[in-house]
Amino acid sequence: MQTDFLVIGSGIAGLTFALKAAQRFPDKKVLVITKTQADETNTKYAQGGIAGVWDFEKDSFDKHIEDTLIAGDGLCNKQVVEIVVKEGVDRIQELIDWGAQFDKESDGDYKLGKEGGHSEFRILHHKDVTGREMERAMLEAAQNQSNIEIVKHCYVVDLLTQHHLGYLVTKSTPHIECYGVYVLNLKTNQMEKILANITVLASGGNGQVYRSTTNPGIATGDGIAMVYRAKGRIENMEFIQFHPTALYEPGARGQSFLISEAVRGDGGILRNKNGEAFMERYDPRKDLAPRDIVARAIDSEMKITGTEHVYLDVTHIPTDKFIEHFPNIYEKCQSIGIDVATQYIPVSPAAHYSCGGIKTDEWGRTSIKNLYAAGECASTGLHGANRLASNSLLEAMVFAHRCFVDAAEKIKTIERSTEAELIPDWKATGTTQPKEMILITQSLKELQQVMSDYVGIVRTNIRLERAAKRLDLLWEETEALYQTTALSPQLCELRNMITVGYLIVKCAAFRKESRGLHFNTDYPYKSTLVQNIVL
């Protein structure tokens, strides 16, 4: 199969690029690949909203820029921050033009929320399901575009480069080029080769590396792992943002239900098991401090009191107001027997967002020719050491647009490589079906346990050393399985997650300081040398 534009991922970043490419080039084919349903993305589960400056009487670009730089703890690329903040309003307007509806006041003005780290009210939202509304609008727009094809249940296995032509490709190889991908078509259970002039990775995050995460099951770091295997550059993987307030449900595994930061923006108060409002002991901004501070404070309180969670108190918020703003959260709490009008909500931190990822420049270009990255899988320089709340959807749209602007010029002159035609079809000779799925499922549990226990909110040198040793063993076992058995999504995802775990541990070990989301008790202070960790 061949296409002009290949987009891997159907979240807000992938769909933004796809729509723009399809509308600009009606004679060219845009192929979007997603490994489950088209709407099963991290975007869908984004509750809080999208940040943008709308009220220029009270707010300004400079304030939003400053808030982002403060949250990023010295590692943001200021040029990129200015680009995203200033271009973001136009991208949000495009989203509205595509049909997304945000909550409004009775006078018709948009309701603006405020979350941790923001100095002004600037968050646009749709109840507490903002991401779902954005995904709905963009999917409808994409489905009305005749030259966009969305292929569901198609798992991308690897990027195609010169390596697949028999050349030795290393990190120092100049001009590594992406020709497309190998995919596993889950409907036919066949491996397929897709060649593309332009490839865009919008493959989302990697929260499933941890035992407790707000991310859906698809968030397995596939794009990051594929770029690393293809010898592309990866950056700052140690900065994993733990959302402070995931709903605590005893014995639950898999995706945790997110209690949006907007709840604290509306007045929710964190309390420990003794009912004490503890955030004032950790930061003058109290419950609206940036997420890294709040998550570490909760982690500290849990260790002090010997509990597995703290509480979020919303009993003082009028119930009708809470239901209006957070109907999804209200219904979830009701379903497990919690009456938010009279009872505290049990919460604990969960892996939520990866601030590092595939290193890109200000146009979304990766270190591999004809390969772009946007959204959570990318490290653009916006977030630095800690993402400011509700900046991620904004970044995804801005960088998807910038990828499109650059690719639109490139596609005019690009010629399909004749060498790419020589890339062989996938060979699965000599492999067998795995005899026991337990070999995969148990390794996944071990990986998530290791990452949660040793590479969580607070780290130490010895924890990182232990994690590295255990990941080495998991990698050896999984690679042996990969070489001898037929491919499955479960095996490929495990392989990718072990790679991502390794990258997180490696970057964390290299950073001899505590900064933003990375806190190592052996190096409790910031280094005077401010640097990105690039692998």
Cα–Cα distance for residue pair 456/154, rounded to 1 Å: 32
Q: Could you tell me if 223 and 254 lie in one domain?
A: no
The string of pLDDT tens digits covering residues 140-196 is 888 888 999 999 999 999 999 999 999 999 999 989 999 999 999 988 888 999 999
Per-residue pLDDT reduced to its tens digit, 183-225: 999 888 889 999 999 999 999 999 999 988 988 889 999 999 9
- Quick one: pLDDT at residue 291? 81
362 and 320 fall within a common domain = no
What is the pLDDT confidence band of residue 389, given thresholds at 50, 70 and 90? Answer: confident
Q: Are residues 378 and 336 in the same domain?
A: no
198 and 300 in a single domain? The answer is no
- DSSP per residue, 187-200: TTTEEEEEEEEEEE
Q: What is the largest CA-CA distance in the chain?
A: 69
Please report, for the domain that includes residue 337, its CATH number.
3.90.700.10
Under a CB-based contact definition with an 8 Å cutoff, are residues 35 and 229 in contact? no
Determine, yes or no, domain membership for 327: yes
Whether residue 397 is found in the same domain as residue 370: yes
**Domain end: 319, 349, 379, which one?**
349
Residue 531 lies in a domain: no
User: Where is the domain boundary, 316, 349, 382?
Assistant: 349
Which residue type occupies 428? A
Confidence band (pLDDT; 50, 70, 90) for 483?
Answer: confident
> In this structure, are residues 199 and 372 in contact, taking their beta carbons and an 8 Å threshold?
yes
CATH number, domain with residue 457? 1.20.58.100
Our answer to whether residue 291 is catalytic in this structure is yes
Q: Is residue 386 part of a domain?
A: yes
- 203 and 59 co-located in one domain: yes
Instruction: Flag whether 73 is in a domain.
Output: yes
Specify the pLDDT at position 352. Answer: 92
pTM above 0.85, yes or no: yes
Q: Would you state the structure tokens that stand for residue 117, as one six-digit string? A: 């780290």
Asked if 233 contacts 369 with a C-beta cutoff of 8 angstroms, the reply is: no
270 plus 400 within the same structural domain: no
Is 429 inside any structural domain?
no
Q: In the prediction, which pLDDT does 38 show?
A: 60
The answer as to whether 390 is a domain residue is yes
Phi/psi of residue 72, nearest 5 degrees: -70, -10
- Backbone phi, psi, residue 288, to 5°: -105, 20
My answer on whether 446 and 460 are in the same domain is yes
Whether residue 360 is found in the same domain as residue 344: no
Q: Establish if 269 belongs to a structural domain.
A: yes
**Same domain assignment for residues 369 and 275:** no
Within a domain: 401? yes
Give me the number of domains the chain comprises. 3
Last residue of a domain, one of 349, 371, 396: 349
Q: Which of 122, 291, 387, 470 is catalytic?
A: 291
- H or E segment and range at residue 6: strand 2-8
- Any alpha helices (H) in 72-157, and if so which ranges? 78-97, 130-143
Give the structural domain span for 474: 437-520
Q: Which pLDDT value is given to residue 446? A: 96
What tokens were used for 237?
A: 């993987």
Residues 398 and 309 in one domain: no
CATH classification of the domain holding 370: 3.50.50.60
The answer on 221 and 129 residing in a single domain is: yes
